[in-house]
Amino acid sequence: MFAFLIRRLVQAVLVMLIISFIGFSLKHAFGDPVRDLVGVSVSKEERDKIAEKLGLHDPVMVQYVRFLKNALTGDLGYSYFFKKPALDVILSKAPATLELVFAASLIIVFLSIPAGVYAAIRPRSFLSRLIMGSSIVGVSIPVFFTAIMMIYIFSVELHWAPSFGRGELVTLFGFWPSGLVTLDGLEHLIMPSIALSSIMLPLFIRLIQAEMMEALQSEYVKFAFAKGLKTFRIYMVHAFKNTLLPVITVGGVQLGTMIAFTILTETVFNWQGMGAMFVEAVERGDTSLLVAYLVFVGMVFIVVNTCVDLVYGLVNPMVRVAGRK
């Protein structure tokens, strides 16, 4: 397990280096930090002075190494629009996004597993056909459409749920503004989290159903029946545990994707998270913030994927042995 961790860590560092280089190149190629800082009405000499001060005249590699050094100390640049360090801006927006993703993940886990497993066990039943049919429809409807329709039906027409914002927040642990602990906050969370899960949920139902069907066809399941085991145990222990392996792999990638790309949902519901911040940064041409976000998201992906690999190792005995060596 230790060697496995080390190997993953080395990989992570390499990936981060590549991401940071791409980020840095972007920063170097686009945008003009001096203009972001002082606008257009300042004279050429003034600009040159500021550029010199910021080190913008140094060779590219020198700038990159400086960028890396700063990044290692947690300094991902300065957002000229928010007038704050970029990382601070991102971290202040992160709780909103993470809570949204958390709620959407709960919906996905608790609906896709029973639905997928049921559809695999009784593929010919009416309910299974309904599940599988509507999952195709679900995958094909874009998130913004789902979100807007939900707002129209449940907020505008029925007045059941609020249509924008996070509602009443309580600061937890001194830094985490949370909507999970107030009723109002939870009400605000319902529709955005459903909208965010609307693509992944059908995807996971289909994945779980397909993998479970395959497991049920296997010889070991047939042998389990021949051993006279109870049907419930065969489904849940023999078939489902094998179904989990590919689901965990895909789930890890998708979890990272959800954290990084809540943009549509956050925009429609005016949810002040990282997605909304990203759109803002694009509109303002805040290159530093965009690059910092890129690096941050790369980091999130790596952390999530490493965790997923560890969980995978717990379920799949073959990985564990490879790790022990």
Partner 1 sequence: MAALLTVNNLNVVFSMRFGDLRAVNDVSFSLESGQRLGLVGESGAGKSVTGFSIINLISRPGRIASGSITFEGRELTTLSPEEMRKLRGDRISMIFQDPMMTLNPVLTLGAQMTETLLAHENITRRQAEERAVETLKKVYIPSPDRRLGQYPHELSGGMRQRIIIAIALLTNPSLIIADEPTTALDVTIQAEILDLLYELTVNERMGLILITHDLAVVSQVTERIAVMYGGRIVETGPTMAVIDNPSHPYTRGLIGALPESAGGQRRLNQIQGAMPSLYHMPSGCAFHPRCPLAMDVCAKETPKLCETGERGTLTACFKTAACEAASL
What is the binding site for partner 1 (CB under 8 A)? Answer: 218-220, 222-231, 233, 237-238, 241-242, 245, 315-318, 321
Q: Which is nearer to partner 1, 307 or 321 (CB)?
A: 321
Give the shortest CB-217-to-partner 1 separation in angstroms: 9
Give the shortest CB-104-to-partner 1 separation in angstroms: 28
| Distance from C-alpha of 64 to C-alpha of 214, rounded to nearest angstrom | 49
Give the shortest CB-318-to-partner 1 separation in angstroms: 5
Give the shortest CB-136-to-partner 1 separation in angstroms: 24
| Distance from C-alpha of 269 to C-alpha of 276, rounded to nearest angstrom | 10
Q: Which is nearer to partner 1, 90 or 244 (CB)?
A: 244
Q: Distance of alpha carbon 295 from its chain centroid, rounded?
A: 14
| Distance from C-alpha of 182 to C-alpha of 190, rounded to nearest angstrom | 13
| Distance from C-alpha of 23 to C-alpha of 27, rounded to nearest angstrom | 6
Find the angle CA(181)-CA(187)-CA(193) to the nearest 5 degrees. 95
| Distance from C-alpha of 50 to C-alpha of 73, rounded to nearest angstrom | 23
Give the shortest CB-123-to-partner 1 separation in angstroms: 11
Give the shortest CB-323-to-partner 1 separation in angstroms: 14
Closest CA to 184 of 196, 174, 169: 169
168: left (phi over 0), alpha (psi -120 to 50) or beta: beta
Q: Which is nearer to partner 1, 7 or 222 (CB)?
A: 222
Facing residues of 170 across strands?
A: 178
Q: Which is nearer to partner 1, 159 or 325 (CB)?
A: 325
Q: Which is nearer to partner 1, 29 or 318 (CB)?
A: 318
Residues in the chain: 325
| CA-to-CA separations, 273 to 72, 126, 165, 288, in angstroms, rounded | 24, 40, 10, 18
Give the shortest CB-228-to-partner 1 separation in angstroms: 3
* Helix H or strand E encompassing 78: strand 78-79
Q: Which is nearer to partner 1, 129 or 233 (CB)?
A: 233
Give the shortest CB-243-to-partner 1 separation in angstroms: 10
Say if residues 275 and 265 touch (Cβ distance below 8 Å): yes
- Token digits of residue 188: 């605000």
Query: DSSP letter at 316?
Result: -
Q: Quickly list H helices, the chain.
A: 2-29, 33-38, 44-53, 60-72, 86-121, 126-140, 143-150, 183-216, 219-226, 231-233, 240-260, 263-268, 274-284, 287-315, 317-324
Q: Which is nearer to partner 1, 118 or 240 (CB)?
A: 240
Q: Which is nearer to partner 1, 70 or 217 (CB)?
A: 217
Give the shortest CB-127-to-partner 1 separation in angstroms: 19
- Token digits of residue 248: 């965990």
Q: Which is nearer to partner 1, 157 or 219 (CB)?
A: 219
